[in-house]
Amino acid sequence: MAAEQANILQDVRLQFQDFFGALSLGKRITLLGALAVVLIGMVSLIIVANRPSWAPLYTNLDPADAARIVEKLQENQIPYLLAPGGRGVLVDPQMVDQARLTLARERVTPGGGVGFMDLFGTPSLGETEFQQQVKYRIAQEGELARLISQLDAIRSAKVSLAIPQKTLFSDEQEDTTAAVALTLSGNGINRGQVETVIHLVAGAVSSLNPNNVRITDQSGKLLSKGVSGQSAGGNVGDNYAHQSKFEKELEAKIAKQLEEVVGEARVKVIVAATMLFDRQTIKEQLIDPDQTSVISEQIVDESSVGSRSVPVGPSGVTTNLPEATGREAATVSEFVKKNSTKNFESSRREVIKESAPGTLTRGSVSVLLDNKRPHIL
């Protein structure tokens, strides 16, 4: 058996020598090059197959979040690999879940600073009220950033709150404001998602008006301009739908009239409308001075009449003594007082005018006709 195998190998070697010897120099070089490429490919495939594989733990990280994650992975002796650019962390595929649970236990999560558990997880003694307020505000900002980062269109977020101190007088109380810086993903963000972020922030902060929330992206573009979640005339999306419906209905009416002359499907109409959705309320008070009426009248009539003893006789000390004789009774009128007060008020009429949203301020109509019809002018 072994002799037969040796004979077969010998025959193959002799045949290859005859074949290789019959080739020209160029064909020999080409054949050796192809064999070398095949050999190198097989070796590379073996190396790649034996190399350990990595699975993404987190991607598109902020450098600060990546540094905190790497630090915790090193402390827990979890092998990791940084992606090019340092914005991604990779671990062994079988340890992805374990690594995420470990980071959650250490309260290290990407996408937004520190939260309440990070700052208030362990009690601290000797803190002043001011320090506690600052820590609370920082924790609130971190929790909001983590909440906003859960949206698919947002990679990370940074929230800054300006909460003024409360005063005794409401007229002197300043408004609470908020600024949100977003790092968006490649798909961008639409108007509805911006409104969602505004209401999330306003709903999580006490006494924060949605109009006082400013949002910007990583390029510095102000996303909250003209968006407050609720415009003066209603929801922005409803206003746009109302305008589009008005344009479509007007286009259909014009096209229907023209199709009776030029024929069906031979006319194209486009209507562009500009509508005002601001709701205005005008309050007027009209006063007519010629028409007056008495609204109140007060009459006071006072009189005092009394009698008392008056001394009669020669003047002197004796006459004025209480036990003096020669005194006579006399009637003396004290005073009489009359007072009359009338309050008049002119006729007053209050008129409240409220304009309905959706007023048409400008409109343009474009009509395209098929001129193949001979009777069309």
Could you tell me the CA-to-CA distances from 24 to 17, 27, 28, 30, 31 in Å, in that order?
Answer: 13, 5, 6, 10, 11
Give the model's confidence band at 308: pLDDT under 50 very low, under 70 low, under 90 confident, else very high. low
Global pTM? 0.44
Domain boundaries, the chain: 55-106, 129-166+173-229, 238-277+360-369
What are the DSSP E strand ranges found in 236-280? 267-276
pLDDT at 306: 62
* DSSP secondary structure string for all residues of 308-351: EEEE-SS-SHHHHSTT-S-EEEEEEEEEEEEEEEEEEEEEEEEE
DSSP state of 225: T
| 126-150 mean pLDDT | 81
Is residue 232 very low, low, confident or very high in pLDDT (cuts 50, 70, 90)? Answer: very low
> Residue 367 has what pLDDT?
87
As a whole number of angstroms, the longest Cα–Cα distance in the chain is 183
Task: Quickly tell me which residue has 């949206």 as its tokens.
Answer: 151
Q: Is the pLDDT of residue 377 over 50?
A: no
Would you put residue 189 in left (φ > 0), alpha (ψ -120 to 50) or beta?
Answer: beta
pLDDT digits (tens, 9 = 90+) for 237-251: 567 777 888 888 888
Alpha-carbon torsion angle 150, 153, 155, 158, nearest 10: -70
Q: Is the pLDDT of residue 41 over 60?
A: yes
| Higher-scoring residue by pLDDT: 171, 83 | 83
In this prediction, residues 191-213 reach a mean pLDDT of 86
Residue 152 pLDDT level (bands cut at 50, 70, 90): confident
DSSP state of 111: S
287-300 exposure pattern, b = at least 16 Cβ within 10 A, e = fewer: eeeeeeeeeeeeee
234 DSSP assignment: B
What is the share, in percent, of the chain residues with pLDDT greater than 90? Answer: 1
Q: Is the pLDDT of residue 258 over 80?
A: yes
Q: Are 87 and 60 in contact (CB under 8 A)?
A: yes
Question: What would the two tokens of residue 38 be?
Answer: 């095949």
Burial class (CB in 10 A: 0-12, 13-18, 19+), 104: exposed
**Which class is 129-166+173-229 in CATH?**
alpha beta
Residue 1 pLDDT level (bands cut at 50, 70, 90): low
How many C-beta neighbours within 10 Å does residue 213 have?
A: 25
**Residue 365 contacts residue 255 (beta carbons within 8 Å):** no
Tokens of 150: 């859960």
Residue 313 phi/psi, 5-degree rounding, is 135, -170
- pLDDT band of residue 231 (cuts 50, 70, 90) is very low
Pairwise CA distance, residues 250 & 270, whole Å: 9
325-366 residue pLDDT tens: 544 545 455 667 778 887 777 677 777 777 777 778 888 988
DSSP state of 52: P
Taking the C-alpha atoms of residue 253 and residue 370, their distance in angstroms, rounded to an integer, is 18
The token pair at 132 is 């506690």
Q: Which residues of 225-236 are buried (b: 16+ CB within 10 A; e: fewer)?
A: eebbbebebeeb
* Token digits of residue 326: 């020669």
Taking alpha carbons only, the member of 69, 163, 162 closest to residue 111 is: 69
Instruction: Give per-residue pLDDT as tens, 95-129.
Output: 888 888 887 777 676 665 555 555 555 566 677 77
**Rounded distance, CA 224 to CA 196, Å?**
11
Token couple for 266: 């031979």
pLDDT given for residue 119 in this prediction: 57
Q: What is the SS3 assignment for 287?
A: strand
Specify the higher pLDDT residue, 109 or 196: 196
Q: Which of 48-57, 64-73, 106-115, 253-262 has the lowest mean pLDDT?
A: 106-115
Task: Determine contact, residues 250/326, Cβ cutoff 8 Å.
Answer: no
